[in-house]
Each structure stands twice: as structure tokens, then as C-alpha cells.
């Protein structure tokens, strides 16, 4: 599945229309966010996680989406199942993101 750029306008709809969702919260000024972005994109396009929607959310431009996961640092990753937050945490390693996805897969 390819990466979906999400905003406050469509975030709730995407959560409700997809059973399993992983979200990367980032900011344009965040160096660590830029470093992990290509790895996250590869994960989304790998085909290893059928049925999981991969979202990319600019935390500064989408405050409601940010509140939904209680984002406190960037980059921040969160997993949702059936529209509900399962877990979220700040992380700079893709291995952590893979472990998060296992919690909803």
C-alpha cells in the first residue's frame, strides 16, 4: 500500500475507513523526521503489511490529528485499530515502527 498524506480534514475518515492504520507525525524542520521518512516510505510500499494503511501527517498543520495520538515529540508514530489509538511513541528507528505495526496486525 502506498503512503497517504493526511490532514485534519480527512484524518478521521481514514481512521474509520481502514481497520488498521499506522501514522507518522512529522514537521518540516525536524531532521530526524527527514532521516526516517525514506525507511517509512519503503515500509509502506513493501507489501509486507496487507490491510494496513500508512499515513503521513504534518503535526504542525494538523493539530486535531496530533491530539488523537497525544503527540509529544517528533518523529512520532502511532497505530490505530478500528479507529482507536492502540499505542504511540516518539521513535527514530524503523525497527520500533515495525514492532508497533505487529500490535495491530
pLDDT, averaged in runs of 10, over the chain (105 residues) = 92 96 97 96 92 97 96 96 96 93 93
Question: 33 catalytic, yes or no?
Answer: yes
Given 33, 52, 57, 79, which residue is catalytic?
Answer: 33
CATH topology of domain 3-102: Glutaredoxin (3.40.30)
pLDDT of residue 1: 66
How far apart, in Å, are the Cα atoms of 25 and each of 17, 63, 75, 99? Answer: 19, 11, 6, 17
Say whether 30 is catalytic. yes
Q: What are residue 98's phi and psi, to 5 degrees?
A: -60, -40
| Options 6, 15, 30, 36, the catalytic residue | 30
State the pTM of this model. Answer: 0.95
Q: What is the pLDDT of residue 2?
A: 82
Q: How many residues does the chain have?
A: 105
Amino acid at each position: 500500500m502506498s503512503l497517504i498524506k493526511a490532514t485534519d480534514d480527512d484524518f478521521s475518515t481514514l481512521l474509520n475507513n481502514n481497520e488498521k492504520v499506522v501514522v507518522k507525525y512529522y514537521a518540516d524542520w525536524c531532521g530526524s523526521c527527514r532521516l526516517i521518512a525514506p525507511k517509512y516510505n519503503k515500509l509502506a510500499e513493501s507489501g509486507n503489511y496487507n490491510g494496513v494503511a500508512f499515513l503521513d501527517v504534518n503535526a504542525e498543520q494538523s493539530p486535531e490529528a496530533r491530539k488523537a495520538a497525544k503527540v509529544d515529540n517528533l518523529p512520532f508514530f502511532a497505530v490505530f485499530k478500528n479507529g482507536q489509538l492502540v499505542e504511540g511513541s516518539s521513535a527514530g528507528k524503523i525497527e520500533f515502527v515495525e514492532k508497533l505495526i505487529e500490535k495491530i496486525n
